[in-house]
Amino acid sequence: MLLYVESSAFSIHTFILQCSPGDTLARIRAQLLHILYQIGHEDHQFRMRYKGQYLRDAYTLEDYRIGDHCVLKMVPMAKKHESFTDVRADRAKLGAGQSNEVKMALIREVAMLKWREQMVAGFSGILSLNRVFTLFAGLMFVWYFLSPYPPTQYSSFLPWAMLIYCVGVGLITLYTLEKCPSYTHKSGFTGPSSLWPRFFMVTFLILTIINWGVAVFLMIRFILSILDYSCLAEESTDSCTVRGFWSYFLAIFFSLHAIYLFIIWSMAMSLLRNFHFRVGDYLEEHLVVTRDVEKVIETARNGRVKEKRQAAFELATLATTGDDSKFRIVAEGGLEVLISLGLSTDEATQEYATEAMAELLTVPVIQDTFVELGGVTTLTTLLHSHNPRLVQEAVTAISYIVADSEDNRQAIIADRGLEDLAHAVQGGTDVAKRNVAGIYLDLAFSPDIRAQMTSQNAPTAALVSLCTSSDSETLRLALQALELVAIESADVILYQEELLDHLLNIPRKSSDAGIYLLAGKILLYFAESPQACERMLAAPNLKTALNQLAKTGDSILQKVVSKVVLCTLDQRQTAIRAKELNLKDVLVYIQGHAADREAWNMADAGITSIETVLFSSFVPGPDSDLGSLLSLKKPLSPFKREDEERKAATTSGGSADGGSEAGPSFSSGAGPDSTSGSRGSQQSLRPVQKRPASAASNSSTSSSSSSSSSSSSSSSSKSSKGSKK
């Protein structure tokens, strides 16, 4: 496959590389080093980048999912103002660009390729001599089969050997004229067989060895005929002379041709062996592991700017080769050196050192040593860098520490670590934002750290800003972290004014039911707070968002949406607003598409409450799978309440007539006591207090006449009074 490589340091060049999916990035870099050698810039330091991700030499193109005709970026290891210095001049100040091992391997490969170029050119030239042997083979064929003096005294096998020889020489000549490739160090193989030069060589070797065997047989046969040469008694003088001349001629001819075939066969074998060599066979090993760890660390500690940069890059590359290499770096004191290089004045050195630290921290044992050496302070400091790539590597390193060790989490948040993480969200890459969301989620699982997160505004504000991300995983992690923060203190998320808009916009950005459920649970906190509920009802897209959440078909999510609507009915003002917004339509949809019985009951309870404007007549039911948060039953209708109160009045010894005339009485749940409750997923609702039927009867008797019209008037008056409450 073909790859295209662009570089800001060589803006007028686009490098085209031929490779295979199994090639490592080190081999790709080796091909680029050969191109740079040809244009005189072999000391140029660079690394590869694809779709914003820097590529490591130890991995293959398949690992990074790089396909045919992809465009890679050759990024200078120095920054823009330094990269041209690397390419053009002032090399003594910054030190050598490539290590001596890499340079020697490059020179060795160049020598191999130049030898190939010379050998292919010489091979093509010497093949032209085969045309002369083809001409003589044709003359021999004419003499042997068409001459008036045919050598009939020879054995019967000789004509067939001569025929095979002539055909073989002709095939070799035609095949080499048509398929012989050419090669140059700069452009590679050209010609008809440029894509399969080894196949050409194998075919040529087979034809040559067959023709060489026939030539040797004929050479020996004619030499023996010379040794046994004698004129026959019946043979004329001219015929004997011609036969002797051709015997000498053919013996010399076949001897020369056998030697020639052996020479070109040997050359073909050497070229076939050389054709197995590919660009990067020597360089690949040195690019992945260029030098001993001790030398690299010593250079990183005491070298010049460019040498330190190269050493940091080599340590980052070496760390990717396996755990053994990681432990070697730590054992030689490389961890301390990398921590110091992370605060270098050279930004490229910082980046490679941070990348190396991130690779080393994938091993949990190294994390403890890193924290003891104070490396966390370096990482949190790097979070304030203006280089997004550097911030991403620092966040990645911190994520390894947080995920693998609970004991080291306190070291992360110490010395304003939570605020440093919040700063990384600003202008960070998508990968960095996803990692920050995961870090906050891991930290929020610890009660002590969660309490510290609720005491600061920066972590919650950062999580709220992450809710605007288009990445589903980032959004999921941020919402999970916000839910844990809300469990600790709901006021912290209610204080974030932008969070409500972000939650209501989630159905437009995502179609993930899991994200919908997280957003719905957080909306419950807004619905349960009177002030936040008014803000929520003022949002123009509330009904659209709730409809979208309800249409997922998930039973738990349907209960959450029903609970949100029911919470808006706790206060008279919010209930009126909910009725104006026609939130009843949401409940009607849930009732018609309920996933289980409890969701249907909750939707039916809300519909009944909206229709009868009985906003506080909900009574708790048994615990559901969501806990007491969604434990609501359908309220009793006024007629059923009247029947129950009559039975209660009869049981208590009250007057049956008074009980029947008093009618139902309703207690108001809209007051402060009825609406107060603990926020969060474990909120419970107070049971509704019923007034005794006897008290209702006495109150009705004292305030009404004995006529039935007075009793009816008293009943309607109490019903009106109950609704106002």
CB 441, CB 481: distance < 8 Å: yes
φ and ψ at residue 94, rounded to 5 degrees: -95, -10
Nearest to 632 by CA among 706, 700, 683: 683
CB 605, CB 566: distance < 8 Å: yes
CB 365, CB 358: distance < 8 Å: no
Residue with tokens 């396996």: 322
**pLDDT at 572 (0 to 100):** 85
Three-state DSSP state, 124: helix
For residue 483, the 8-state DSSP code is H
**pLDDT at 280 (0 to 100):** 86
Which residues, in sequence order, are CB contacts of 322 under 8 Å at separation 6+? none
Q: How confident is the model at residue 229 (pLDDT cuts 50, 70, 90)?
A: low
Mean pLDDT, the chain, rounded, equals 78
CB 688, CB 722: distance < 8 Å: no
**pLDDT at 416 (0 to 100):** 86
Nearest to 381 by CA among 419, 425, 410: 419
Helix (H), strand (E) at residue 437: helix 430-444
Read off the amino acid at residue 543. Answer: K
**pLDDT at 253 (0 to 100):** 85
**pLDDT at 230 (0 to 100):** 60
Question: Which sign, positive or negative, has the C-alpha torsion 651, 655, 656, 658?
Answer: negative
Residue 526 has pLDDT above 70, yes or no: yes
The DSSP-derived string for 314-326 is: HHHHHHTT-HHHH
At what angle are helices 237-275 and 100-127 packed, to 10 degrees? 160
Residue 290 has pLDDT above 70, yes or no: no
Query: How far from the centroid of its chain's Cα atoms is residue 85's Cα?
Result: 34
Among the residue ranges 148-157, 190-199, 362-371, the one predicted with the least confidence is 148-157
**pLDDT at 700 (0 to 100):** 35
**pLDDT at 46 (0 to 100):** 85
Three-state DSSP state, 47: strand
Q: How confident is the model at residue 656 (pLDDT cuts 50, 70, 90)?
A: very low
What is the arithmetic mean of pLDDT over 410-423?
89
pTM (2 decimals)?
Answer: 0.61
* CB-based burial, 153-184: b 16+ in 10 Å, e otherwise: ebeeebeebbebbbebbbebbeebeebbbbbe
Can you tell me the distance from the alpha carbon of 666 to that of 645, in angstroms, rounded to the nearest whole number?
11
Three-state DSSP state, 457: helix
Q: How confident is the model at residue 330 (pLDDT cuts 50, 70, 90)?
A: very high
CB 596, CB 555: distance < 8 Å: yes
Q: Tell me: the pLDDT tens digits for 187-228? A: 788 877 777 888 999 999 999 999 899 889 888 887 887 776
**pLDDT at 645 (0 to 100):** 52
CB 316, CB 359: distance < 8 Å: yes
Can you tell me the distance from the alpha carbon of 353 to that of 340, in angstroms, rounded to the nearest whole number?
9
Cα angle 437, 440, 444; round to 5? 140
Residue 563 has pLDDT above 50, yes or no: yes
Nearest to 33 by CA among 346, 273, 290: 290
Adjacent-strand bridge partners of 72 = 5
Tokens representing 147?
């001459």
CB 680, CB 521: distance < 8 Å: no
CB 521, CB 483: distance < 8 Å: yes
Can you tell me the distance from the alpha carbon of 359 to that of 353, in angstroms, rounded to the nearest whole number?
10
**pLDDT at 399 (0 to 100):** 93
Residue with tokens 């914003």: 52
**pLDDT at 232 (0 to 100):** 54
Q: How confident is the model at residue 254 (pLDDT cuts 50, 70, 90)?
A: confident
Can you tell me the distance from the alpha carbon of 460 to that of 579, in angstroms, rounded to the nearest whole number?
33
Nearest to 515 by CA among 546, 464, 558, 472: 472
Share of the chain residues as helix, strand and coil, in percent rounded to the nearest 5: 65, 5, 30
**pLDDT at 405 (0 to 100):** 81
Question: Which sign, positive or negative, has the C-alpha torsion 678, 671, 500, 451?
Answer: negative
Q: Tell me: the pLDDT tens digits for 685-712? A: 333 333 333 333 333 333 333 333 333 3
CB 16, CB 68: distance < 8 Å: no
Q: Tell me: the pLDDT tens digits for 607-623? A: 888 877 544 444 444 44
Can you tell me the distance from the alpha carbon of 701 to that of 231, in angstroms, rounded to the nearest whole number?
163
CB 69, CB 34: distance < 8 Å: no
Can you tell me the distance from the alpha carbon of 201 to that of 509, in angstroms, rounded to the nearest whole number?
60
Three-state DSSP state, 336: helix
Residue 315 has pLDDT above 70, yes or no: yes
Can you tell me the distance from the alpha carbon of 353 to that of 456, in angstroms, rounded to the nearest whole number?
31
Identify the residue with better confidence: 275 or 639. 275
The distance between the two most distant Cα atoms of the chain, rounded to a whole number of Å, is 170
**pLDDT at 279 (0 to 100):** 87
